[in-house]
Structure 1
Amino acid sequence: MSETISELIQNLSDPAVEVRAGAAKTLGEHGATAKAAVPALLKAVNDRSAAVRDSAIASLSKINLGSTVSALIQNLEDDDDRVRTSAARGISTMVERFELPASTKQQVFQALAQAVNNRSWFVRSTVMATLGELAPVDEVLPILIAGLADAEAEVRQDAAIAIQCFGDEAEAAVPHLIDAFWHDIEVYAASALGSIGPGAQAAIPRLLEALERGHEDLRARAAEAIGEIGSAAAVPALIKFLQQEDAGLRRAAAEALQGLGPVATAAVPNLIVALEDKSDEVKAMAAKALGEIESENTAIAELLMPLLQDEAASVRASTAYALQLMGKHAEVAVPALIEAFRDEVERVSQSAARALAEIATPEAKEAIARYRQWS
């Protein structure tokens, strides 16, 4: 058996990925009898192949979980950056893939909490990404907040992503996310603020600024965050944005208003005007916003109906979606939706079908039944 293990250890250095991965996996099948392979497997945790790294971690956990964790923790402070990186990757994989005993979780948490100032940015980033799996929010959040001020953007980014996972429990992070907003992590900060919800009201001015001046991805995420926070205080600014020259800003404003829903009733007249916008994207989003805000207003359904014949498929599909949101209150649109049901663009016909199913009048049901019979 020892010779077999010795050969497997040698195979961990083989040029072929499949040989190294196979050796790493097989060593784990030997369990505790393969303890001599632990140093080589720890080295394999830094293999250039993900398959080898994953197999090495899995085998280490089977051979001796406790000693492996201790070794990885010790390696976090190694002089060689590659060793520190390997240790951080190994710890992260173990936490993600295995159900660790409570005592081991506590051991890992304490080690990672002490590694927040590690000279390796990868280690610090791993700390941010992993801590949430190990301890409750009150223990983890202060560390994540500190990570928002890290010198490396990757660390700040992972801190913001981890904060997002805590949702409304992370309300204490709001002022720190606002401060970190423009430090190369604005999209992630916006996501985190949105996940916190109504408790992030203080971030609305910063999110509106992002909506007005940000790039496309940031605008989209800021719009979503404003909707998730649900602040009616944002509506006047969003109405103003609907009237600006920048089509991207107009679209983002309409998206934010859709997210706000009924609290954005004051914007309805401006959204109706936006149904005639020169930008198809703005028209499409304005239709969705009206369907969300005025979901019980039959008059809005009547206004939306002509857009089911718009030249742009995106507008037709979005209009059908808006009518779907209105359900039975869009009954007046059933004949127009039946016509849209025959649209040559699949996403339009599918949106129309979903709208008819939601409206569910006898006429709508009959149209769907006929379609199923023909298809």
Structure 2
Amino acid sequence: MAAVPTILRRTTASRPTTLPWADSLAAIGPGAVPALIEGLDDPRDGPRWTAAAALGKIGPEANAAVPRLSRMTTSAQTADRVVAAAALWRIARDRGVLPVLISSIGRAEARDRGERYAALDALGEIGPAATEAVPALIHQLSLVSETHAYQVVRVLAQIGPDAATAVEPLERISAHSSDGSLRLAAAEALWRITRGEEGVDALIKELQGDPRDTRRTTALATLSQFGPEAAPAVPAIVELLRSDPSTLGASAAVLRRIGPPADSALPVLIEFFKDDDLINKDEVAAAIRAIDPEAARGLGIR
């Protein structure tokens, strides 16, 4: 595989979060594994990290790289340890990499943020199996700025119900953060962790916010992921439709996903559907059909 060393030589990556050639190398397949293992010994950071990332993307068929990647997790360089740990998880589902990643998420100095973000990305990918990281993630929420807390919140959401001890700080963020994007992320995390109304309630507050705030549309998009469990939001969505018809497309998508429990929204949806000038007629029709098929047939919706 002569192409592998050539591609690695072209790699100029300076951050472990941005390794654009890794996908191309992984696409070569298992035949690239021997050359990529050799690339782990490259003295330059970019080629070495790219080789590790490509091996991880190849997955279990790169099993021959496990011994060398395991040694790389003991490197004196944080970025080496993080990219090797992420690759080992993808290849072998080795939970032994968690301490390596957890020890790297507290590196908030400007020069260390690449390693920190790469470690958080890896923990998010590991998801529910990364429960061991929850205490450290919660600790990070009390230390970092709101800008940097966003990714920590996203990881807690990906861990899900096993991150239950994070509910209290997430509730504080969703209620009091001045960063709207962070509030939305915290609301989604609450729902993914509790599968209860906490996250829905936080998103309802966003719907009732400033009409000029585009995050209302983002809140609707988040609610649409919840399906019937977003039913408590129906009254707020109806109110939003009456006050701001420009949200009709996004609102109809949420109501369609909720289905029959959104029956209290039928009158306003039917009102919109009967408007001959309506642009979003297909979306509204789909929502009516999902909520009440019989009412849809009565309106000629098939």
Matches within 5 A, 1:229-308: 229-230=193-194, 254-255=202-203, 279=211, 295=231, 308=241
Matches within 5 A, 1:116-155: 117-118=76-77, 122-150=79-107, 152-155=112-115
1:159 counterpart (115, 119, 134): 119
Q: 1:305 to 1:170 in 2, by over 3 A?
A: closer
Identical positions, percent: 21
1:320 aligns with 2:252: yes
Q: Distance in 2 between matches of 1:153 and 1:276?
A: 35
User: Which of structures 1 and 2 has the larger relative contact order (alpha carbons within 8 angstroms, sep 6+)?
Assistant: 2
Q: CA deviation at 1:106?
A: 2.0
1:197–1:229: 8 Å Cα contact kept in structure 2? yes
Task: Tell me the equivalent position of 1:194.
Answer: 157
**SS of equivalent residue, structure 2 residue 10:** coil
2:8 counterpart (45, 51, 54): 45
Q: Distance in 2 between matches of 1:109 and 1:275?
A: 47
Q: 1:367 to 1:307 in 2, by over 3 A?
A: farther
Matches within 5 A, 1:68-79: 68-75=35-42, 78=43
**SS of equivalent residue, structure 1 residue 180:** helix
2:161–2:192: 8 Å Cα contact kept in structure 1? yes
1:364 counterpart (273, 276, 296): 296
2:131–2:163: 8 Å Cα contact kept in structure 1? yes
1:109–1:134: 8 Å Cα contact kept in structure 2? no
Q: CA deviation at 1:126?
A: 2.3
Task: Tell me the equivalent position of 2:73.
Answer: 113
Q: CA deviation at 1:191?
A: 1.0
Task: Tell me the equivalent position of 2:173.
Answer: 210
* Alignment gaps of 5+ in structure 2: 13-18
Q: Distance in 2 between matches of 1:328 and 1:216?
A: 30
Task: Tell me the equivalent position of 2:189.
Answer: 225
Q: Distance in 2 between matches of 1:219 and 1:310?
A: 23
1:172 aligns with 2:132: yes
Q: Distance in 1 between matches of 2:134 and 2:66?
A: 27
Q: CA deviation at 1:330?
A: 4.5
Q: 1:127 to 1:179 in 2, by over 3 A?
A: farther
Q: CA deviation at 1:69?
A: 4.1
2:30–2:62: 8 Å Cα contact kept in structure 1? no
2:59–2:91: 8 Å Cα contact kept in structure 1? no
Q: Distance in 2 between matches of 1:95 and 1:328?
A: 44
Q: 1:305 to 1:162 in 2, by over 3 A?
A: closer
Q: Distance in 2 between matches of 1:275 and 1:73?
A: 50
Q: Distance in 1 between matches of 2:101 and 2:20?
A: 30
Q: CA deviation at 1:131?
A: 3.0
1:92 counterpart (53, 77, 92): 53
Q: Distance in 2 between matches of 1:126 and 1:294?
A: 38
Q: CA deviation at 1:73?
A: 2.6
Q: CA deviation at 1:146?
A: 1.4
Q: Distance in 2 between matches of 1:88 and 1:276?
A: 46
1:177–1:193: 8 Å Cα contact kept in structure 2? yes
1:328–1:359: 8 Å Cα contact kept in structure 2? yes
Q: 1:174 to 1:98 in 2, by over 3 A?
A: closer
Q: CA deviation at 1:205?
A: 3.0
Q: Distance in 2 between matches of 1:158 and 1:178?
A: 18
Q: CA deviation at 1:323?
A: 4.1
How many residue pairs get matched? Answer: 282
**SS of equivalent residue, structure 1 residue 88:** helix
Q: CA deviation at 1:90?
A: 2.0
Q: Distance in 1 between matches of 2:26 and 2:265?
A: 59
Q: Distance in 1 between matches of 2:29 and 2:232?
A: 60
- Cα RMSD of the aligned pairs, angstroms, is 4.2
Q: CA deviation at 1:144?
A: 1.2
Q: Distance in 2 between matches of 1:99 and 1:276?
A: 48
Cα deviation, 1:126-154, whole Å, max 9, x if unaligned, reads: 23542321333431212111121345111
Higher Rg:
1
Worse-superposed segment, 323-332 or 352-361:
323-332
Task: Tell me the equivalent position of 2:16.
Answer: none
Which one-letter code corresponds to 2:100 in the other structure? I
Q: CA deviation at 1:171?
A: 1.3
Q: 1:187 to 1:99 in 2, by over 3 A?
A: same
1:204–1:231: 8 Å Cα contact kept in structure 2? no
Cα deviation, 1:49-71, whole Å, max 9, x if unaligned, reads: 99988767777964x743x2442
Q: 1:280 to 1:357 in 2, by over 3 A?
A: farther
Q: 1:167 to 1:277 in 2, by over 3 A?
A: closer
Cα deviation, 1:281-329, whole Å, max 9, x if unaligned, reads: 588769x69x9668399xx76x865654434411x34553454355335
